[in-house]
């Protein structure tokens, strides 16, 4: 356990840091149009972040103790295939459906 004083010091410093990061975009350039190169780079943020968040959950899920689960990989591939052709709602539905169906069929 850390001391209460250290906890609150770190919490306040992280809050200030988060505020400054957000203020740099919203407060300083919020009322002006963003340059084209910034909008182009921001367009790829989701494409870069989502795979980084999802890949460990598919390849080394905590629910299996970190061991590989082919059913989860198949569900992720179903999401990818449907997501490339249709919208996100269909992709999520296909992933959930394939995960639950395969869990039911193969345990």
Q: How high is the mean pLDDT of the chain? A: 90
Whether residue 68 is found in the same domain as residue 94: yes
Whether residue 57 is found in the same domain as residue 12: no
Q: Is residue 38 part of a domain?
A: no
Residue 30's pLDDT is 75
pLDDT confidence tier of residue 13, bands split at 50, 70 and 90: very high
Q: Are 74 and 98 in contact (CB under 8 A)?
A: yes
Per residue, the 3-state secondary structure of the chain, as one string, reads CCCHHHHHHHHHHHHHHHHHHHHHHHHHHCCCCCCHHHHHHHHCHHHHHHHHHHHHHHHCCHHHCCCCCHHHHHHHHHHHHHHHHCCHHHHHHHHHHHHHHHHHHHC
Whether residue 90 is found in the same domain as residue 67: yes
Residue 38's pLDDT is 84
Q: Is residue 17 part of a domain?
A: yes
pTM above 0.75, yes or no: no
Q: Is residue 20 part of a domain?
A: yes
Whether residue 4 is found in the same domain as residue 47: no
Task: Tell me what the mean pLDDT of segment 53-81 comes to.
Answer: 90
The count of domains in the chain is 2
Q: Which domain holds residue 1?
A: 1-32
pLDDT confidence tier of residue 43, bands split at 50, 70 and 90: confident
Whether residue 93 is found in the same domain as residue 52: yes
Residue 48's pLDDT is 87
Whether residue 47 is found in the same domain as residue 28: no
Residue 89's pLDDT is 94
Whether residue 48 is found in the same domain as residue 16: no
Cβ count within 10 A of residue 60: 14
- Report the candidate in 59, 77, 79 with the shortest Cα–Cα distance to residue 67: 59
pLDDT confidence tier of residue 47, bands split at 50, 70 and 90: confident
Whether residue 26 is found in the same domain as residue 50: no
Res 59 pLDDT > 80: yes
Res 20 pLDDT > 90: yes
């Amino acid at each position: 356990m850390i001391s209460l004083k250290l906890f609150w010091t770190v919490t306040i410093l992280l809050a200030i840091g988060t505020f400054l990061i957000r203020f740099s975009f919203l407060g300083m350039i919020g009322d002006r149009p963003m340059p084209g190169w910034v909008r182009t780079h921001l367009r790829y943020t989701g494409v870069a972040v989502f795979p980084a968040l999802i890949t460990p959950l598919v390849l080394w899920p905590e629910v299996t103790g970190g061991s590989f689960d082919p059913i989860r990989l198949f569900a992720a591939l179903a999401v990818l295939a449907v997501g490339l052709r249709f919208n996100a709602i269909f992709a999520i539905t296909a992933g959930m459906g394939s995960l639950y169906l395969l869990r039911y069929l193969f345990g």
